[in-house]
Amino acid sequence: MRAVVQRVSRASVRVDGESIAAIDRGLLVLLGVGQGDGPTQAAELAKRIVHLRIFPDDEGRMNRSLIDTGGALAVVSQFTLYGDARKGRRPYFGDAAAPEVAEPLVDAVAEAAREFGVEVKTGRFQAHMEVNLTNDGPVTILLDSEKTF
């Protein structure tokens, strides 16, 4: 699994002009599921996300997590995180998991985060979404369940 984690002061998701998810201070996570990913990777990635210390403490140092701050989490599925454009101009998406595999794993990440007591909002799987955010900092972190980065 791959995640682009963005610290936000607000974020929202719209589908067909309708707002389906909105959060204030917290994290927006764009989440891609790859071939071979499963429930173990989903649980571990959720744990890493909610414990990631990227919020400022009283001294302004990034020392607090989403759990520490009581912030919310927005999880948006994005298979394009597995796009490989090393061989040409059109990305190859063959390393992304099939939708029937990916959707329950995206849901598993959201549910695992909820089990830590985090408020979680989600996008709509396989929908054309408009994601709006105000990146706070800006702070953007890349996570990979294989810990390649």
Beta strands in the chain (DSSP E): 2-15, 18-23, 26-32, 55-56, 62-64, 72-77, 119-122, 129-144
22 token code pair? 């909105």
Given 40, 80, 93, 126, the catalytic residue: 80
Q: Which of 6, 41, 55, 78 is catalytic?
A: 78
Q: Catalytic annotation on 80? A: yes
Catalytic residue among 6, 41, 55, 79: 79
78 is catalytic: yes
Rounded Cα–Cα distance for residues 20 and 41 (Å): 26
**Residues labelled catalytic:** 78-80
